């Protein structure tokens, strides 16, 4: 069951959070809250003076520890003050020029607590107040990059042609393309303490990987799962193994035994689904451009 949280910060820190693709952080003294946070929990964005009100809400995506400065105070002092971080999706948020005029207030809120649990009753009341407002968003992610600026363009007949089984490198390249279409920093051969990960997607340069992919085309499934487990243990990343359908039984066998700790977190993606996902996302982006959105 999802929980509700009030997240309190200054106008400057909230703008930093949105500019860095929806990241927030807690101090070590707040670890007990961070450990209770779960995906799908609701977050209400409370901005302190001069706004003094809730300007939006969203949902926890993932949480992770971080050892790189991000917030203005951290950058100024060159040290990590808020290492217990989490990413969130924005469901409804007022644009900054309307924070003061359209904020939501309630006598049931006590923002001096900084970060605190809310009852389900208060949480539902806040959601109801926002859904009664005109639907306006201020999502802290850049617009998707233009496909023709950074990604290869293919004529329709090539996209529609039957493709042979893609190679390991082709699949990595395509996963990078998809990540960039999603607005992530996407990298191949990401170095970490036990080797290299095939592809990772990160929110910002200072962020740890949010999504991690290992591609297996006739490779060592056991070793790939080992790297994905370590990535999950380190960063609580969303982890994926990309492999042929015939490897699914082998993967499921290992997940029910040696790697049972990540069985509930890992996703299996068949090789041909990668190209299908790219085509669909590319088509959607082209349609948006056609409409001028």
pLDDT digits (tens, 9 = 90+) for 34-62: 999 998 899 999 999 999 999 999 999 88
pLDDT tens for each residue of 196-229: 999 999 987 777 899 999 999 877 899 999 999 9
Domains in the chain: ranges and CATH: 4-131 (3.10.590.10), 147-291 (3.40.1350)
Quote the crossing angle between the two packed helices 221-235 and 248-255, to the nearest 10°. Answer: 50
Identify the pLDDT of residue 125: 94
Structure tokens at 236: 């609580």
d(Cα 232, Cα 212) in Å, to the nearest integer? 9
Residue 274 parent element (H or E): helix 271-291
From CA 241, how far away is CA 266, in angstroms rounded?
7
CB neighbourhood size of 52 (10 A): 13
> What pLDDT score does 145 carry?
34
For residues 154 and 109, what is the distance between their CA atoms, to the nearest angstrom? 54
Which residue(s) pair with 115 in the sheet? 7
Contact partners, residue 210, CB within 8 Å, separation at least 6: 61, 62, 87, 184, 201, 202, 203, 237, 238
Average pLDDT of the residues of the chain = 86
99 vs 152, more confident:
99
Long-range contacts made by residues 230-235, C-beta under 8 angstroms, separation at least 24?
Answer: 230/192, 230/193, 230/194, 231/192, 231/197, 232/262, 232/265, 232/266, 234/192, 234/193, 234/208, 235/64, 235/65, 235/208, 235/209
Contacting residues for 158 by C-beta, under 8 A, at least 6 apart: none
Query: pTM, whole model, 2 decimals?
Result: 0.65
Residue 24 contacts residue 7 (beta carbons within 8 Å) = yes
Which residue carries 């948006």 as its tokens? 288
pLDDT of 139 over the 80 cut: no
Phi-psi region of 276 (alpha: psi -120 to 50; beta: other; left: phi over 0): alpha
Q: What is the DSSP letter of 104?
A: B
Angle between helices 168-181 and 271-291 (to 10 degrees): 30
Residue 261 DSSP class: G
Burial class (CB in 10 A: 0-12, 13-18, 19+), 218: exposed
* Per-residue model confidence (pLDDT) at position 150: 44
Rounded CA separation 38/265 (Å) = 13
Q: State yes or no: pLDDT of 142 exceeds 50.
A: no
| Amino acid 162: pLDDT | 43
Task: Kindly state the greatest CA–CA separation across the chain.
Answer: 63
């Amino acid at each position: 069951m999802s929980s509700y949280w009030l997240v309190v910060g200054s106008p400057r820190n909230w703008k930093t959070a949105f500019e860095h693709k929806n990241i927030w952080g807690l101090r070590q003294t707040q670890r007990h809250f961070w450990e209770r946070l779960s995906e799908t929990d609701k977050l209400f964005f409370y901005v302190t003076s001069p706004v003094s009100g809730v300007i939006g809400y969203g949902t926890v995506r993932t949480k992770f520890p971080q050892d790189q400065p991000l917030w203005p105070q951290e950058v100024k002092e060159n040290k990590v003050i808020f290492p217990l971080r989490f990413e969130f999706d924005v469901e409804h948020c007022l644009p900054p020029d309307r924070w003061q005029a359209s904020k939501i207030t309630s006598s049931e809120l006590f923002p001096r607590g900084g970060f605190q649990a809310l009852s389900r009753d208060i949480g539902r009341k806040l959601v109801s107040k926002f859904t009664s407002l005109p639907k306006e968003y201020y999502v802290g992610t850049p617009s998707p990059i233009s496909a023709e600026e950074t990604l290869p363009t293919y004529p329709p007949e090539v996209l529609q042609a039957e493709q042979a089984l893609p190679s390991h490198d082709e699949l990595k390249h395509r996963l990078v393309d998809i990540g960039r279409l999603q607005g992530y920093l996407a990298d191949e051969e990401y170095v970490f303490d036990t080797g290299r990960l095939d592809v990772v997607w990160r929110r910002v340069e200072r962020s740890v990987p949010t999504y991690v992919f290992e591609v297996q085309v006739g490779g060592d499934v056991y070793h790939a799962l080992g790297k994905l487990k370590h990535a999950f243990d380190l960063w609580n990343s969303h982890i994926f193994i990309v492999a042929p359908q015939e490897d699914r039984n082998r993967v499921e066998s290992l997940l029910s035994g040696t790697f049972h700790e990540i069985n509930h977190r890992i996703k299996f993606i068949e090789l041909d689904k990668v190209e299908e996902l790219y085509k669909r996302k590319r088509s959607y982006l082209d349609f948006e451009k056609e409409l001028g959105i």
